[in-house]
Amino acid sequence: MSYRLQYTHEFYEDFERYYGNLAEIDLQLAERVFDAMQKAMKVLEDFPFAGRRAAAENAFARELLVPFGSSGYILLYEVEDSETVTILAVRHQREDDYH
């Protein structure tokens, strides 16, 4: 059974910021980041618990590492129910705070 992915406004804002900044420097690099994130999110459709726990008190709040280059991105998401995963935010691994 595949889970349905839904996305928060914050996720879209985060992604547009990263993509826009990268595209100004190197459009092909921005496209590769986009592809890497899409592949990672596709995994969540079938394996929603693939990511590690984001908070000890909530087993359904998770984070998934999206490797890219020498670091990567982190998708913060929540397994809502037996059918739905909500992508909450995305941050670069080197950022201080993404919760």
Domain ranges of the chain: 4-92
- The pLDDT, as a whole number, for residue 94 is 81
Give this prediction's pTM.
Answer: 0.89
pLDDT at position 97 is 64
Q: What's the mean pLDDT in 6-22?
A: 95
Mean pLDDT of all residues in 82-88: 97
pLDDT in tens, 27-62: 999 999 999 999 999 999 999 999 999 988 999 999
Question: Under a CB-based contact definition with an 8 Å cutoff, are residues 93 and 71 in contact?
Answer: yes
CATH of domain 4-92: 3.30.2310.20
Average pLDDT of the chain is 93
Give the pairing type, strands 71-79 and 84-92.
antiparallel
